[in-house]
Structure 1
Amino acid sequence: MRLLHTQKKMLGSLFAKTSLKPSALHLFQFNLQRGLHSRNKKAAEFLAQGFSAIKEVDRVMDKSEPNSRLLIPLLRKAKENFELALEADNSNAHARYWLSKLHLKYHVPGACKAIGAALLVEAADMGDAEAQYELGRRLRYENEYVQSGQQAFYYLEKAADQGHAGAAIVYGSLLLRGVQLPESVTKLYKTASKSSGSAVLDPVEMAKEQFQIAAKAGCELGFKWLQRLEEEEKRLLTE
């Protein structure tokens, strides 16, 4: 019995020594957050350098051919920095998006459309609004092999929900054209309509919501669309 009591004391002492005290736990959490901040900061630095190179690429492209040899060093610099940003922070969706653009848009050495597409989908699924807009637009207008209207709406809606003006304009204009909405979107709007006492989907009102998002983001086209809809409503009332 005495031996058992001694063993319990030893075990209790052992666990007491190995468990983290509140102060130690706070220190561990602080170090973890500091590590994350450090990685994010490093990734941001690489992104900034990549953006700088891309800006110079766009400037040179205005005065030369898209595949000019003058662009190769700049494109390599941009690609290297975006890759380093991902190495520093693998969860950085924006670095993925810009790498995808290098593969899909620019004549970067070693460009691969398949890699660019995969990176774009990853960035969009990780929540990057620019990637969601770009993917939605490509699925809607540039996909030669698959009818992807449902997916296009999905990504455009995601981007618009984050306040992306371009996505909101495209989404709103598609609604006005009478494009068939995917079931996931109609369910969402039907739920909202029922809660407001209306069971009818109004594509004009839905489009107006999108243009308001664009206008709120400072997009001039959003204001123009809202003005146009207002004028059309007034015209219909006077007829």
Structure 2
Amino acid sequence: MFLFSNSINRQVTALLHLPFYYKGSSSGFERGLHSRNKKAMEFIAKGWNALKEVDRVIDYCELNDRRLIPLLNTAKENFELALEADNSNTHARYWLSRLHMKYHVPGANKAVAAALLVEAADMGDPDAQYALGCHLRVENEDIHSDQQAFYYLEKAVDQLHPDALYLLGAVYLTGDCVKKDIASALWCFHRASEKGHAGAAIAYGSLLLKGVKIPESLIKFSLKRGSAAQMRGKNKESITIDPVEMAKEKFQIAAKAGCDLGFKWLARLEEEEKRLLTQDY
């Protein structure tokens, strides 16, 4: 996985797992827990706003531009304060790991970033699980790392993380490291598109227009959501879909997300509809 010494591991663990003492009733404990969590989220919001400002200007300057340091320090301090306020907060761990790993913040430490990311992922943070899964796929080429990457991606998918759903759908579609499974790929693309993921919506719509068969279980699921699935037959026992209409729904999702491909696909479908109408007349 991540290569860093056991001594660094122990140091990071000691820093992250601060002792906590509590005296009082369970209701008092719950109030204290809520108070710490609220304070931690306030620090995270401040750190995230500073990081958002860095992302806004970073494309127009060098990555190590000294003018970014005050903002990076503000983000780092607030994420650390969030962990001090609530050591169980996975969001603080994730954002602090991202800061150490991606940005030129003073005191950045890849080993600390790795430890924080693994802890956040193991504590159930879907963003951390997705990031760790991607990191393991990119940074390591051995089979063991692929299995670990798939494990964390599936954990994020279980929580319907849209990027994880899209990536896992692509893995199933191509058969990369797993047995090729079009039905599973479609399910992942469909659920990700419901979360507004433009790439997943384009992938799903494109597969529909190519004539890929949609599993009946997914059609039933779509029917419950009020999509282009329809019941047919005297007793309305059979289920079918209009692939063009469903594809259009997906392209509309992509267009709503600002994806140019979504607009292009919608334009192509509109042209095709006009062409067919002209032929009918």
**Alignment of 1:205 onto 2:183:** yes
- Residues 145/108 of structure 1: CA separation in 2 closer, same or farther (3 Å cut): farther
Match of 1:91 in 2: 88
Match of 1:231 in 2: 209
Q: How far is 1:147 from its partner?
A: 5.1
Alignment coverage as a number of residue pairs? 190
Match of 1:47 in 2: 44
Q: How far is 1:177 from its partner?
A: 1.2
- Residues 234/162 of structure 1: CA separation in 2 closer, same or farther (3 Å cut): closer
Distance of 1:71 and 1:216 partners within structure 2: 36
Question: Which protein is richer in helix relative to its size?
Answer: 1
8 Å Cα contact 1:47-1:81 kept in structure 2: yes
Distance of 1:223 and 1:29 partners within structure 2: 47
- Residues 74/232 of structure 1: CA separation in 2 closer, same or farther (3 Å cut): same
Unaligned runs of 5+ in 1: 1-26, 182-200
Q: How far is 1:46 from its partner?
A: 0.4
Match of 2:159 in 1: 162
Q: How far is 1:221 from its partner?
A: 1.5
1:170-185 equivalences in 2 (<5 Å): 170-181=167-178
Query: 3-state DSSP class of the match of 1:108?
Result: coil
RMSD, matched Cα: 1.9
**Alignment of 1:120 onto 2:98:** no
Distance of 2:143 and 2:177 partners within structure 1: 16
1:16-31 equivalences in 2 (<5 Å): 28-31=25-28
Q: How far is 1:225 from its partner?
A: 1.2
Unaligned runs of 5+ in 2: 1-23, 214-281
1:23-76 per-residue CA deviation (whole Å, 9 max, x = no partner) reads xxxx92221111111000100110011011101111231221110000111111
Distance of 1:106 and 1:132 partners within structure 2: 20
8 Å Cα contact 1:160-1:213 kept in structure 2: no
Distance of 1:127 and 1:43 partners within structure 2: 17
Q: How far is 1:166 from its partner?
A: 0.8
Q: Which of the numbers 206, 214, 225 marks the counterpart of 2:192?
A: 214
Structure 2 length normalisation: TM-score?
0.64
| Aligned residues with identical type, % of pairs | 57
Q: How far is 1:143 from its partner?
A: 2.6
Q: Which amino acid aligns with 1:35?
A: G
Which 4+ residue blocks in structure 1 deviate beyond 4 angstroms? Answer: 144-147
Distance of 2:143 and 2:102 partners within structure 1: 20
Match of 1:71 in 2: 68
Distance of 1:60 and 1:78 partners within structure 2: 15
Q: How far is 1:85 from its partner?
A: 0.2
Q: Which amino acid aligns with 2:127?
A: E
8 Å Cα contact 2:134-2:149 kept in structure 1: yes
Distance of 1:219 and 1:92 partners within structure 2: 26
Distance of 1:131 and 1:210 partners within structure 2: 19
**Alignment of 1:36 onto 2:33:** yes
Structure 1 length normalisation: TM-score?
0.75
Query: 3-state DSSP class of the match of 2:50?
Result: helix
Query: 3-state DSSP class of the match of 1:157?
Result: helix
Q: How far is 1:233 from its partner?
A: 2.6
8 Å Cα contact 2:172-2:180 kept in structure 1: no
Match of 2:100 in 1: 103
Q: Which amino acid aligns with 1:88?
A: A
Q: How far is 1:96 from its partner?
A: 0.4
Match of 1:198 in 2: none
Q: How far is 1:175 from its partner?
A: 1.0
1:91-122 per-residue CA deviation (whole Å, 9 max, x = no partner) reads 00110001101111000101111111111111
Query: 3-state DSSP class of the match of 2:60?
Result: coil
Distance of 2:141 and 2:209 partners within structure 1: 37
